[in-house]
Chain A
Amino acid sequence: MQQKHQGAADLTGDASFVRIDQLTKRFDEVAAVDDVSIDIRKGDIFALLGSSGCGKSTLLRMLAGFETPTAGGIFLEGVEISQLPPYERPINMMFQSYALFPHLTVFENIAFGLKRDKMPKDQIAERVEAMLNIVQLKPYAKRKPHQLSGGQQQRVALARCLAKSPKLLLLDEPLGALDRKLREQTQFELHNIIKKVGVTCVLVTHDQEEAITMADRIAVMSNGRFLQVGQPHEIYETPNCLFVAGFIGDVNLFKGTVEVDEPDHVVIGTPECRHFVSHGITGTLDMQVSIALRPEKICLQEHEPTIEQRESAQEHGYNCARGMIDAVAYFGKFTLFHVKLDSGMVIKATRENAARHEETQLVRGQRVYAWWDGSDVVVLTN
């Protein structure tokens, strides 16, 4: 099975190792996945990110072969696989709650897929051993799954689906069942293991942090469609719509109209301030737009920005609004401020706590200047 599709590899190249072509899945007329097309590069970790019920799992299950597409095709190295049963696809999936076989030991769980390939016994033992080493579970080979902790079960599940050297690895909420602290640590481990093995991977998650730390590319999904596909920083820094901006991280949204529309800059008037934006937009004068601004891009200070500060920002344009600090929340590595601007809008701004004692502590009720660089603003036209 492993070698079955080798011949086609060179036809398509690495950029579209996996090609999803106008894939649609309907459950009783409701489209869970709606006309999705994407190419996934060989060796990439590709994350499907979206809120509950947006169709992530359905898309993943179509890749694994548990759902048959209503329309469209799935190509792996140029070979159409969407009609193959799951056991004939060189694809392995790690299930949301691991789905380890409770009646088999860790060793037998990992060996299960290898035995199906009729691998000789000594090779199986070798391969399982190697897998156990990778996930650092060697002493646990003889245990049953219920004798393992959640994190260990997760690693067994990973070892089990990596053992067959799949061409494509599918992960459905791989860290969903772990508690927060373990999740952060496991994120890196998982990422390292996948990169070390070099397997192409599609990851489903509703946790934006997980997607950003683990993925090479992210697709943000909503209602069965891809809203935006890009590298983590692209998705974060230049979201292409309100949904994406709001879904990934915290964001301040200003609503206003286009007042100046030049190829290299625009000015957007909102009740808070006139936003100078240092790039052109695809829009027209007087158009209603939204402006997205990340909290960490906003500087807060007691005194008016100095000439130097303004000048450093000037080349991109400089935006400033006045307001009063409404609430302060200390998060350790950063502090979150709610600032009530004079227009009445409340914005969020964060400030990193680099030094132990911040020289100028901002307190509730204090009047401040909030200012930001014109290049940090994203204009959303829809």
Chain B
Amino acid sequence: MKTQNIAHALFNNWGRRSVIGIPYLFLILLFTVPFLVVLKISVSETDGIRFQDLLSYVDGAVTLKIKLSNYLFLGSDPLYVETYWSSIKFAALNTAICLFIGYPFAYFMARSPANLRPALLMLVTLPFWTSYLLRVYAWKGLLDDHGVFNNILIWLHLIDSPIRMMHTAFSMTIGMVYAYLPFMILPLYANLVKMDLRLIEAAKDLGATPWQTFWLVTVPLSRNGIIAGAMLVFIPSMGEYVIPELLGGPGTLMIGRVLWDEFFSNNDWAMASAVAVTMVGLILVPLAIFNRYQADSGGVRGV
């Protein structure tokens, strides 16, 4: 009887551990291991073909060799520094525009009649039904010198000769906003639709005008949605490659393109890895700390 109980408890424990363990296993396999591989490559010596092991054992001496020259080069070459800075700026701009468009969008979705919401939600996710690459490519057709927009403007006699839109910061920003807007809207919508409407009524009851209610109650309470949406847009747009490549131009430096060049044009894997690791360090570490701080100070939020 007793042993049975113990066995039962053990099994239960095992079951629980495996349930918790599976996500961890995924994280280790799909994130930590690849990252360590990249990290290793970035500090490895190479003989031109193969990367050497970091630890070597020769004549009874263990040697640990870490090559930092790639990182030092990164820090000293203004091209890289500038590119990082430019990536951050474009990602931030993208996030800001997505928030600006996405918030009212999500707000009206969340406040629309309950039976209309699934349809609206489907419309937001509709772009995902076609290939990302195709959709970005389609913007080319719209923004080209002889594209749809220019043709319309000329036809309306608003302009005489085509405006240069393609391969500028403008075209790239449009493409980025277009591609990432759903990632802002969805978490915001999920947050806003759960909001306790009595809090809005309470604010009005206490004398707050609709505008004050929005800024003093709705926005602060949707903070978690804003943060989640901003992360989902900011982080991937930092490393975005396809859109800068297709819609961007010489003026739109993005770290994703540099990475691609290092890997495939220069075949300098070590340098490319160093660029990637630095990006992770530069962006993710501060964001993770920020997130942690949020969780600590937040307590129960958006209840």
Contacts and interface: CB of A to CB of B under 8 A. Distances in A.
B62 interface: no
Contacts of B301: 102-103
Interface in A96-125: 96-97, 99-103, 112-113, 116-117
B158 interface: no
Contacts of B196: 99
B258 interface: no
A208 interface: no
Given A102-B300, A102-B301, A92 B205 contact: yes
A138 B42 CA distance: 59
A101 B198 CA distance: 10
Nearest to A170: B205
Given A1-B207, A87-B209, A146-B299, A101 B217 contact: yes
A186 B198 CA distance: 23
Contact of A102 (B201, B204, B221): B221
Contacts of B303: 102, 146
A206 interface: no
B202 A101 contact: yes
A113 B209 CA distance: 11
Contacts of B203: 101, 112
Contact of B221 (A65, A96, A103, A146): A103
Contacts of A65: 204-205
Contacts of A100: 202
Interface in A30-78: 64-66
Contact of A99 (B201, B223, B300): B201
B196 to A, nearest CB: 7
A85 interface: yes
Contacts of A305: none
A230 interface: no
A99 to B, nearest CB: 4
A144 interface: yes
A87 B220 contact: no
Contact of A86 (B201, B212, B221, B300): B201
A160 B206 contact: yes
Chain A interface size range:
20 to 34
B154 interface: no
A225 interface: no
Given A95-B201, A101-B199, A113 B207 contact: yes
A116 B301 CA distance: 24
Interface string B191-219: 00000101101111111110010001100
B206 A102 contact: no
B249 interface: no
Nearest to B202: A99
A164 interface: yes
A87 B204 contact: yes
Contact of B198 (A85, A97, A147, A161): A97
Nearest to A88: B207
B302 interface: yes
A112 B206 contact: yes
A119 B207 CA distance: 12
Interface in B82-126: none
A100 B199 CA distance: 7
Interface string B284-303: 00000000000000011111
Contacts of A91: 205
A144 B207 contact: no
A93 interface: yes
Given A64-B205, A113-B206, A160-B206, A95 B198 contact: yes
24 contacts: A64-B205, A65-B204, A85-B204, A86-B201, A86-B204, A86-B205, A91-B205, A92-B206, A95-B201, A96-B198, A99-B198, A99-B202, A101-B199, A101-B217, A102-B301, A102-B303, A103-B220, A103-B221, A116-B206, A116-B208, A144-B299, A144-B300, A146-B299, A146-B303
Given A66-B205, A97-B198, A112-B208, 9 more contacts: A64-B201, A86-B204, A93-B205, A99-B201, A101-B217, A101-B221, A102-B199, A116-B206, A146-B299
Interface of A: 1, 64-66, 85-87, 91-93, 95-97, 99-103, 112-113, 116-117, 144, 146-147, 160-161, 164
Interface of B: 196, 198-199, 201-209, 212, 216-217, 220-221, 223, 299-303
Closest 8 CB pairs of A and B: A113-B206, A116-B207, A99-B202, A99-B198, A146-B300, A86-B204, A103-B220, A102-B303
